[in-house]
Amino acid sequence: MSPLLPGLILHWKARLQGRRGPSPLQPYRELRRLWSKSTVDVAGTTVVYRLAPALVGACLVAAVGLVPVSAVGPNLGVGHDVIVLVGLLALARFAAAASTWDVANGFSLMGASRDLTISVFAEATLLLALVVVAVVTGTSNLLGMIAGTAGGAVWSSPALPLGALAFGIVVVAETGRQPFDNPDTHLELTMIHETPLLEYAGRDLAYLQWAAAARHWVVLVLAAQVFLPHPRDVWAQLALLPLVLVLMCGALALVETLQAKMRVLLAPRLLGVAALAALLGVIARGVGGS
């Protein structure tokens, strides 16, 4: 399901820019094309280069299995803890960055260093946003978080809206959308999450592209089911989810069209603003009464 999300964003961005654009199903065709091509091997690399795409794919598979789509979800062995999710994303980032050192491609290394720099601030902000929700719902288990933020009562205090604002900025950072990154090109100067793609082809590249799409899925489902108002009933949540995801893809496309890419080294300031917003949310919750 996840390749549909970047496909939708790309389609609407094109529409907003006055072009016809690719169909939302284009990423699926891309994956199928890559599946039938052969991989490449770089001379002088070790097992890290060969294993990295599979490991990144495995981490995102585990992450997709971790994030439930409603307040009731099966335990696929990885549990539902949100800190584990942050850890799995960190492992994927480590594997991708290690593979860039293995191929010693200067462009990939530049992208990897920027990715890791931004991740320092993005991870702190992500944790703070999740802390706001954890304080409101009293648990770090995602099932409990989804159940706890359901209904309209929790939205009356300013804590959760501030957390949602912070998480919104983190969503843009994690999916690699403008103003943090330009996902339409494959230049080293504008690639942050996509860095190891340069030296891979065929099924390896398919794994990495699917992993990027899965990252969209994970953060957007989290945003929909935790940081936006959602109903209490499980079936209503499931029915509403596709609509909310589509709306959020539209919102991301709008943000990308209206925003220019900001200078990479100024991106931490934006994340710092988001972190302050989340901290304010925590203070508001503490003052408001818990």
Partner 1 sequence: MTAVLYWLASAAIAIGVVVTLFAGQWRRGLGLQAAGAALFIAAGFATLATGHAVGAAFTSQLTPRLGVDRLSGVFLATLGVVAAPALAYSSRYLDGSGRGRLIGALTGVFVLAMVGLLCARDAITFLGSWELMSLLPAVIILVYRAADAESRRSVFIYIAITHLGGVGTWVAVLLLAHAGAFGTAGVVGPGSALQIGIALAALVGMGTKAGLVPLHAWLPRAHPIAPAPVSALMSGVMIKLAVYAMIRVFVDWLGVLPTWFGVLVLAVGAVSSVGGVTYALFQHELKRLLALHSIENIGIIVLGLGACLVLRAHGDDAWAAFALAAALLHTVNHAVFKALLFLCAGSIERSVGSLELNRLGGLLRRMPWTGGALFVGAMAIAGLPPLNGFASEWLTLQALLHVVMSGHVGDGTAGAVALAALGATAALAVFCFVKVVGLVLLGPPRRAHVRDALEVAAPMRGAVAVLALACITLGLVPGLLVSRLVAIAPWSGDAPVHAGLYVPGTGSLPTVGIAVVLVVATAVLIVLRGQRTPPAAPTWVCGQPVVPELQWSSAGFTKPLRLVLEVVLRPRREIDVRTHGGVVTELAYEGEVPNLIDERIYRPVARWSLAGAAYARRLQSGSLGMYVGYLIGLVLVVLIAGRIGWLG
User: Looking only at residues 256 through 275 of this chain, which bind partner 1 when binding is defined by CB under 8 A?
Assistant: 264-265, 268, 275
The answer to whether residue 112 forms part of the interface with partner 1 (CB under 8 A) is yes
| Binder among 2, 70, 100, 209 for partner 1 (CB under 8 A) | 100
Rounded Cα–Cα distance for residues 211 and 174 (Å) = 12
The answer to whether residue 83 forms part of the interface with partner 1 (CB under 8 A) is yes
Query: Could you tell me the CA-to-CA distances from 205 to 26, 31, 134, 212, 225 in Å, in that order?
Result: 16, 9, 36, 11, 30
| Binder among 76, 189, 243, 258 for partner 1 (CB under 8 A) | 76
The answer to whether residue 142 forms part of the interface with partner 1 (CB under 8 A) is yes
**CA torsion, points 115, 121, 122, 128, in degrees to nearest 10?**
160
The answer to whether residue 189 forms part of the interface with partner 1 (CB under 8 A) is no
The answer to whether residue 32 forms part of the interface with partner 1 (CB under 8 A) is no
Nearer to partner 1, 138 or 151 (CB): 138
For residue 229, give both structure tokens: 């108002």
Q: What single letter denotes the amino acid at residue 75?
A: N
User: Looking only at residues 199 through 258 of this chain, which bind partner 1 when binding is defined by CB under 8 A?
Assistant: 199, 203-204, 207
Least distance to partner 1 from the beta carbon of 200, Å?
10
Least distance to partner 1 from the beta carbon of 239, Å?
26
Q: Would you give the end-to-end CA distance of the chain in angstroms?
A: 38
Rounded Cα–Cα distance for residues 149 and 67 (Å) = 15
